Structure 1
Amino acid sequence: MNRALNDNALLRDITRLEDVEKLYKAIGVAGLYGIAIGAVWFLCVAFKAGALV
């Protein structure tokens, strides 16, 4: 049975890809929180200015 020359490197790359997926998820969650905070801020300012009445 022949082993691939870089099979350990392939296993390391799999964990790196999982780390990248976690990073993308964290960026997405941070982006959604930013949008939510911006929307609440906008509604508060618009209400205070009387634009929603």
Structure 2
Amino acid sequence: MNRVLNDNALLRDVKRLQDANTLIKAVGVGSLYAIGIACVWFLCVAVPAGALWK
């Protein structure tokens, strides 16, 4: 009986790890989108305005 309870707890933890993995992936993808948007902004706005080289 104790083994069954431990197995169920292990399966429950695996589900939580999968949820955490999904969250980590979502944060990573969001971060990459933010970096991409920042690069496009930099190329379209900051460089032509001469923000770096005056």
Range of TM-score over shorter length: 0.7 to 0.9
Q: TM-score normalised to the size of structure 2?
A: 0.77
TM-score calculated relative to the size of structure 1: 0.78
Structure 1 runs, 4 residues or longer, greater than 3 Å off: none
Question: Are 1:21 and 2:21 matched, yes or no?
Answer: yes
- Identity among equivalent positions (%) equals 59
Letter of the 1:27 counterpart: V
Residue 44 (structure 2) aligns with: 44
Query: In 1, distance between residues paired with 2:44 and 2:11?
Result: 50
Q: What is the alpha-carbon root mean square deviation over aligned residues?
A: 1.8
Gaps of 5+ in 1: none
